[in-house]
Structure 1
């Protein structure tokens, strides 16, 4: 019986030893930097800049509202296991500020949107001391975050600095092409129809960069509530300007925009839902809209098709 037990146990121990040795060899030869981000837009930047040298995870998936997001126990564990953390900043992830403050004492933690020069930022009309955090809607502003991610990775992993810098430059060239594409497409919309109405004020940088007037039912954060006066304000705008389409957002309840559509109908003005836009969240990872460029193009095409 003892001989049989030894015969059974010894191979298992030997196999376990081999597995541990293999894992050790992988770590010594091909160890990847563990990157954790909040929103998927930043995760996409990290993947493009980091390439094969990083392993990236995003806390917030499709349809997630970062304004209201609270870190779970598993999120805290993931952040603790990370080598480096990238988040947006400017109060986008308002419920997680204490978490970032704690993590900053333990490891490199970057608020990538706060690398953008202040003169390029817009203040919140309701809270002038706070900047609008939705910087990814101006491609030229978002390029600053690419440089910030490259810097963070290079400081942590200097042996691969050349690769990070090269990847960042290549990605920014793609973003230059995206910026040009967006301008060309928006120009297809008649000037009088270039009015973008959405659930909350996420698209102001987009409007400034590409020539649209942007109106939102709620403020910069979805934490703010909308009331009957807000609905009536948008309904009046739709009627006066003869606007034919409004847009829902993937991370915001359709309830607010549906109230606008119904209010316009009661006023004798028919308005349609022009489509779903990605505002604070992107699409699923395995889709075109799960990348920053794919998400941006989806929004452009949806807006142009509805308003032109």
Structure 2
């Protein structure tokens, strides 16, 4: 449940859109000018940039190390959203604190949740709360391409004269994603089934686990707003000890504290657990680096997981 302070902040922000009017001004020079795109997460921002190229000017709200589950928009975000021609966000309550803002600005410009393009049968639900849907769709490359294809169609509506170029760029990018999927499947298949167990800080890797036939155990739930209790830590510790799981992973956008507590608890129980490495889950790396791209981030995770889990079997 949101605090009174947060609710007040969101209300003020929504009112600022009303006062400004949120009118999308016509561009001078027509389609010679790139359209202004706002993306919430860096996964969306980078992927849309690859498809749109020079036809877009993309602003990403959430950078490296930022947790979208608890992200609170800034005044700079408000300005970017006011200037946007189109807004792309993940949906499925990943950016839950911004839902009211999306509803408000969607009254006079396209505001697209990429997850809306994904069929219900392809989505994962929280096993403990079936009504809650897993929002981390970018870890299934096939699903991600479906979402991006939907986004491209929206861009074509704004850039009808550049439809052919957008499709060429989309297909080129999709070829890279298909290659990424092939390489990732091949790498993960080298890990014996009994060693393919991924223990992370929060339950962000469900789609990844389904795609690569990997068991995923998250200390925290689907959202990092979920509370972590002593019993949650002890439950994971017991699993590590019982099943002799030797490695756990931290995430770039979440404090290491809880995972360190798990490692310490397992040690006290007489079971040695190592830190397998840092994974990118809800956020990517810094802009301009390899992990600052969707493909680079994904490759990093595959390499980190495979190296750690394969080492377990040596």
TM superposition score normalised by structure 1: 0.90
1:91 alignment partner, one of 90, 93, 101: 93
Change (3 A) 1:304 1:29: closer
* Residue 256 (structure 2) pairs with residue 254 (structure 1): yes
TM superposition score normalised by structure 2: 0.88
CA contact (8 A) 1:43 1:57 kept: yes
CA distance in 2, matches of 1:230, 1:53: 48
Change (3 A) 1:101 1:28: closer
Which moves more between the two structures, 125-134 or 251-260?
125-134
CA contact (8 A) 1:146 1:172 kept: no
Task: Note the C-alpha offset of 1:127.
Answer: 3.0
2:244 alignment partner, one of 242, 267, 270: 242
Quote the residue 2:177 is aligned against.
175
CA contact (8 A) 2:125 2:132 kept: yes
CA distance in 2, matches of 1:253, 1:154: 40
Q: Superposed, which structure 2 residues align to 1:125-164 within 5 Å?
A: 125-164=127-166
CA distance in 1, matches of 2:46, 2:161: 22
CA distance in 1, matches of 2:224, 2:189: 30
Task: Note the C-alpha offset of 1:164.
Answer: 1.2
RMSD: 1.3
Quote the residue 1:67 is aligned against.
69
1:141-182 CA distance string (max 9 Å, x none): 111121022111001111111111121111111111111111
Quote the residue 2:222 is aligned against.
220
Which moves more between the two structures, 279-288 or 172-181?
172-181
CA distance in 2, matches of 1:248, 1:27: 48
Quote the residue 2:12 is aligned against.
none
Task: Note the C-alpha offset of 1:26.
Answer: 8.7
1:40-78 CA distance string (max 9 Å, x none): 000011111101111111000000000000111110110
- Is the radius of gyration larger for structure 1 or structure 2? 1
CA contact (8 A) 1:63 1:251 kept: yes
CA distance in 1, matches of 2:31, 2:55: 11
1:171-210 CA distance string (max 9 Å, x none): 1111111111111111121221100000000001000001
* Residue 64 (structure 2) pairs with residue 50 (structure 1): no
Task: Note the C-alpha offset of 1:30.
Answer: 3.1
Quote the residue 1:21 is aligned against.
none
2:70 is paired with a residue of what secondary structure? Answer: coil
1:116 alignment partner, one of 115, 118, 122: 118
Task: Note the C-alpha offset of 1:27.
Answer: 4.6
Task: Note the C-alpha offset of 1:126.
Answer: 3.5
Quote the residue 1:185 is aligned against.
187
CA distance in 2, matches of 1:153, 1:193: 43
Total equivalences in the alignment: 284
2:201 alignment partner, one of 199, 202, 208: 199
Change (3 A) 1:38 1:192: same
CA distance in 2, matches of 1:130, 1:161: 36
Quote the residue 2:273 is aligned against.
271
